[in-house]
Amino acid sequence: MGMLDEVKNTMGSPENLDDVLLDMSRYGQPKLSMHDNGWYCWIKMHVTSQGATFEVASEFGHQSPRAAVDECRARIVATIKQFVA
């Protein structure tokens, strides 16, 4: 199973925030923070097979930590699709 399949298989599961962040940590170093206008999540990722390191992030200003993490996670999937394609 490839990286994209692994990420897709975990999306949509009724997980708690800890589980989602731990799952994301398989692909890099996820971070979650509160700013003046809301929550923000980002992850520094490294795709070994491509020799690429990059950051994936949510938008600023999410109303909940989970919303920021879910957006970041969806962007991880979209980014991995670009590398796999």
**Which tens digit of pLDDT belongs to each residue from 71-80?**
999 998 888 8
The pLDDT value recorded for residue 46 is: 78
State the Cα–Cα distance between residues 61 and 58, nearest whole angstrom.
9
Residue 48's domain comprises: 3-84
Q: Which neighbouring-strand residues pair with 64?
A: none
Domain count along the chain: 1
Q: Is the Cβ–Cβ distance between 44 and 53 less than 8 Å?
A: yes
**Whole-model pTM?**
0.76
> pLDDT tens-digit profile of 19-71?
999 989 988 899 999 999 999 999 998 777 677 788 999 999 999 999 999 99
CATH code of the domain in which 11 resides: 3.30.160.100
Higher pLDDT, 75 or 12: 75
